Amino acid sequence: MNIFIITDNLEIYIKFRLLFSSNYSEMVSYFISKSSETLFINEMVNGEVKAINLKEDKDVELLLSYNLGFSCHSKQIFPETLVKNVRCINVHPGFNPYNRGWYPQVFSIINKLPAGVTIHEMDKDIDHGGIICQETVDIYEWDTSLSAYQRIVDKEIELFSAWLSRLIRHEYTTSHPYAEGNYNSRQDFRDICEINLDKMVTFREAIDFLRALTHPPYKNAYFRSEKERVFVSLDLEKRSD
């Protein structure tokens, strides 16, 4: 059994490498996107990971020699050729079929659709395919995108750890979502980042919008002042009365 993992999240990489280390370390190869080389500079130097581009035929051909592949916060779309010929499993930080695509926790805070974790087999569509297991993750009124995301990542690691042996041995059944749900692209995220200062909203809507886009160190929400962008974030602190 030869396994590949593609991830662009350093925390996920470290935790997943530990999960595989006891019984499966010799089976696994780790890959990242070329855009993540700076983040993984030490791992690149040590030969622990290799950069790969799934738009290049030679890189896809390399992965076709594996028996099983995992996508875990990968920035790349797995091509149809790959998912049709290799059993590929996605560890997705969203509760399918809701808010498939980019930054699920951001959109869950705004549109109030369920948040969570889904482990599913991959098909040609993004965050689509037979569901192996999933769990919801609560988002609270004091959560920002960052705090919600951290809780979701913890749940991903917990769920993946519990299912790892079954995933490798193909000892599971899949189910399909009852509906197609909704999908948010990276451009959808970029579009919501600009604040319309003249838009009429409630305080609740304004707070939800700003906390959904608060994810330090990233600068997301902004409004325009003449030719400049002014970035806005929210600091929330929960205290007992």
Catalytic residues: 92
CA-nearest of 131, 209, 201, 165 to 3 is: 165
Place of tokens 């951001």: 106
If you ran DSSP here, which 8-state letter would residue 236 be given? -
| Residue 42 tokens, joined | 């030490």
What distance in Å separates the CA atoms of residue 91 and residue 131, rounded to the nearest whole number? 10
In contact, 182 and 98? CB cutoff 8 Å: yes
| DSSP string for 61-109 | HHHTT-SEEEEES-SSPPPHHHHHHSEEEEEESS-TTTTEES-HHHHHH
In contact, 219 and 146? CB cutoff 8 Å: no
| Residue 219 tokens, joined | 């600068």
